Copies of this chain bind each other. A is one copy, B any other.
């Protein structure tokens, strides 16, 4: 057959390219034409042993960024230095650290400390933990991160979402109530933090960072918005001054609880809450409108705390129905490794909570790190960040801290305040340390309602309606995922909402494989280009040929579908028209990246119905891996002779129509 096509004259369309003016060096030069009538042979990739193929795949899977490529060919001494730099990114910036850098970091550090202190106290309350644990968590973890982390902008501490999840998950296990057994609850929080840290560090070490990729932006958007609503509704407890409030987290229970206890509403609390809400929201509005006044919203929480504390102190408002934090003992973090609880009764709960909070906080930390790295144009290594965040939480769990990560809001403040290196985290930690040592008595009169207002304003910022609208406009299925995450969190529970959204995302990917797009290609008049006839009006069917393209790997999940679909198309095509006209079916494999044994069986089976209808089936442009398997399937049976494999659709059509003509002169 190759002979026939040679005789006919090829269809490459290029051997006769005219000489061109104005071509950059090396663009295909018309001088080097191929022999007239050449039909190109389809080739497999150069043979590789299974072991070397496996090695390649493992490398692509786990080391797509090839972190050690710069190590190659370096002297041993330099290799050691580079390894140290790799493991401790701080080694990179410490030697060149200057006074001017320190000045920037000092300002940024004080600014984020003013955010971290009120947030620490508030978020700890959100997780139903004693407020001081929130401050502890803003002291040790930032120091660890400053040594290990590779981001210059990440500001470390507890975040609203992880606090919420930790509180709700630990509570939901009915056996532990923060009010009934506060010591046990704290122990469980430390244990969960340990598991979260272990998970994060091992994901980093095992280079399984891609697992967090399965939380798509749409999932996170819906999840965040749902969590924000749940959190702000929960704050109604503080904002209305309700004493008996539900422990549950879903919309229905929370709203029921709000209106069951209208008798507990306190007008003094409501008034104070409303005033500070307005204050905080205005500050936020100003900062969003004029970005250079970012410090107004950054300082607003601390200012609110100071103002409200002073107000309560002056008016003795704690005697008029406004609840205050009360006495907190001064002092730094206690060691807490002896409080870790490995009782089998609670182990499952702690591991599950660690898993969910670990994944969520990792996702937030890595995403925030990547965002600011891309703005300032430096590299953040995802797997290294995971190790840093993981180690920070492992150390944290032994020093009375709960789950921390690089939160978006405080990192944004850090970035805006002009931080240069991770030193700003150190400054923040030192400021928190001073607070822990000397300033705790000042919080005695801080009213809880202000903390509620701070949390509410912080989380309302997580509801991103324009982004949701953008997703709706771009992709309806993505929007569905977003909506499911949102509704799941609000109506069922935080972790189930997340699981549903991830499930739908994965199901959607699987459906793309199970029901792959198949298109019919046509020739664009007067060219050698073949394109989808439904996309390009100029693309017209080539009479006598049916050109089919599959756009997915062919595997067990779709061979039955492809089988039915292809048969139907071939039958429709050959019966609907003049029957004698259809002669050849061209199956274009250009967009099939992989094939498995079921897929090969499908290709072999496809020959039967086509032959029954008197048609000839040819394959076009199998990619390397597919070609390799076709060859292996050929090995004893010779299912696909070389003359039914072509490199391009054009060559196949030219060769086949030439042949057909020869046969019927």
Number of chain A interface residues as a range: 35 or more
**A28: chain B residues within 8 A (beta carbon):** 523, 525-528, 542, 653
Contact segment of A132-140, A330-338, A415-423, A506-514: A506-514
The answer to the question of A192 belonging to the interface, with a C-beta cut-off of 8 Å to chain B, is no
A8's partner among B22, B217, B471 (CB-CB below 8 A) is B22
Does A612 contact B377, Cβ atoms closer than 8 Å?
Answer: yes
* A40 touches B (CB below 8 Å): yes
Contact A560 B382 (CB under 8 A): yes
Which of B33, B544, B553 is A26 in contact with, Cβ under 8 Å? Answer: B544
Residues of B within 8 A of A11 (CB): 17
Residues in A605-650 with C-beta less than 8 Å from chain B: 605, 608, 612, 621, 623-625, 627, 629, 632-633, 635, 647-648
List of B residues within 8 angstroms of A560 by Cβ: 210, 213, 382
Q: Which residues of B contact A598 (CB under 8 A)?
A: 216-218
Interface assignment of A52: CB less than 8 Å from any CB of chain B: no
- Please tell me if A357 contacts chain B, counting CB pairs below 8 Å: no
B residues near A343, Cβ cutoff 8 Å: none
Task: State A510–B33 Cα separation when bound (angstroms).
Answer: 43
Segment at the B interface, from A306-314, A444-452, A492-500, A561-569: A561-569
Q: Which residue of B lies closest to A27 (CB)?
A: B657
Are the C-beta atoms of A470 and B597 separated by less than 8 Å? yes
How near does chain B come to A542, taking the closest CB pair, in angstroms? 6
Q: Say yes or no for A96: interface residue by CB 8 A criterion.
A: no
Distance in angstroms from A565 CB to nearest chain B CB is 5
- Residues from chain B with a CB closer than 8 A to the CB of A559 are 213
A560-604 to B contact mask, C-beta < 8 Å, 1/0? 110011001000000000000001000000110110111011000
Interfacial chain B residues near A531, Cβ < 8 Å? 621, 647
Q: A471: which B residues are within 8 A, CB to CB?
A: 597
A176 at the interface (CB under 8 A from B): no
Interchain CB contact under 8 A, B474 and A632:
yes
User: A524: CB under 8 A from chain B?
Assistant: yes
In the complex, which residues of chain B have a beta carbon less than 8 angstroms from the beta carbon of A382?
A: 560
The reply on A14 being an interface residue by CB < 8 A is yes
Query: Are A512 and B23 within 8 A (Cβ)?
Result: no
Please report A residues at the B interface, Cβ cutoff 8 Å.
8-9, 11-18, 20-28, 30, 32-34, 40, 43-46, 50, 54, 60-61, 64-66, 210, 213-219, 374, 377, 382, 470-471, 473-478, 505-506, 509-517, 519, 523-529, 531-532, 534-538, 542-545, 551-553, 555-561, 564-565, 568, 583, 590-591, 593-594, 596-598, 600-601, 605, 608, 612, 621, 623-625, 627, 629, 632-633, 635, 647-648, 653-654, 657-658, 660-662
> Which 10 pairs across A and B sit closest by C-beta, in order of nearness?
A216-B556, A26-B543, A551-B593, A13-B13, A22-B661, A591-B591, A34-B526, A24-B657, A14-B527, A14-B528
